[in-house]
Amino acid sequence: MINDQARVSLVAQGTPALACEVCTANANVPNATVVVQHLRGGTVQLAACGWCVRALRRVAAATGGHAVFALAEGAIPVPASRHTAPRGARPAGPPVVLLEFVEHLRDPVDGTTYVARVCGRPRTGGTWEGWLEFVAVGAAVVLRTERETTQSNRQGVAYWASGLEPSYLEGAFARARRDTPAAVSV
């Protein structure tokens, strides 16, 4: 029904899709998933590239976290030339979990418990990038930091992860909470 609401969220996980399903640009490698959960049941997942993730975050920030989308006839299409490749080394493989911490973190606002883990993936040129993900226990919520490290190989990211202290994880968790958009009502 047209008046039904849905929750739109970002899951910072890799996807087997080869192209972004939001902007449909084959040149943009998806690195996240947009999840649309309808309140009456049903879920739609779309692979999203970095450009689309940033755009969704901007829209969520501009609305204060709550929006209603209405599609109008005659919308102006985005020219294909606007879909340029991001600068810098691009992902060259799927993300992998390199380390999962035994200690859990608790969100001071809502009390949700999160499992912290270090993820990484190869980049073009042979280097590896690493970031932190915080997975809610008992809920479909994943918070993700931006890239935290770039190393010469997978072992370098794993070594970096092995030296992370609890205070670093707490700071990264605060950044991930701050940078993750609020739910958007559709």
pLDDT at residue 91 above 90? no
Q: What is the pLDDT of residue 128?
A: 94
170's tokens: 């707490």
38 confidence band (pLDDT: 50, 70, 90) = low
Q: What backbone phi and psi angles, to 5 degrees, belong to 83?
A: -90, 75
Q: For the chain, what's the residue count?
A: 186
Q: What is the pLDDT of residue 40?
A: 61
